[in-house]
Amino acid sequence: MKNKWVSFLSKLAFICNLCFLFGLVILNTRNFINNQPVEGTIVILGTFGALLINSILQLCLLFLRITKKDIPVAAWLRIFNVAVFAIQIIRYFLMPGN
């Protein structure tokens, strides 16, 4: 199967996006994680990794769509990653001071 790297990148983005959403829950509620290394991993993956990897993924998917190549990613995974990417854009670029 061609473009297996897009499938891998999409799954990696899914994990980072889950960390991003979980990090939002942590930031907006009281800190309920007692394990500091786990909390740090979630925050770092969610804050830095999610936006970077999701941006790269969306550019790759856009390129594959423009060149009319097969996209080896399930539809639900693409929809989830695009939806979380929209939330990330709003959170980091359109909400000043957050």
Q: List, as one string, the DSSP characters of 28-78.
A: HS------HHHHHHHHHIIIIIHHHHHHHHHHHHHHHHHTT----S-HHHH
Q: Domain containing 85: what range?
A: 4-94
Does the pLDDT of residue 13 top 80, yes or no?
A: yes
Bigger pLDDT: 74 vs 30: 74
Give the Cα separation of 30 and 52 in Å (integer): 27
Question: Taking the model in full, what pTM does it have?
Answer: 0.86
In this prediction, residue 1 carries a pLDDT of: 54
In this prediction, residue 89 carries a pLDDT of: 92
Bigger pLDDT: 82 vs 42: 82
For 27, 30, 33, 61, the CA distances from 79, given in Å and listed in that order, are 25, 30, 29, 12
Q: Do residues 7 and 73 lie in contact, with contact meaning Cβ atoms separated by under 8 Å?
A: yes
Does the pLDDT of residue 5 top 70, yes or no?
A: yes
Q: What's the total number of domains in the chain? A: 1
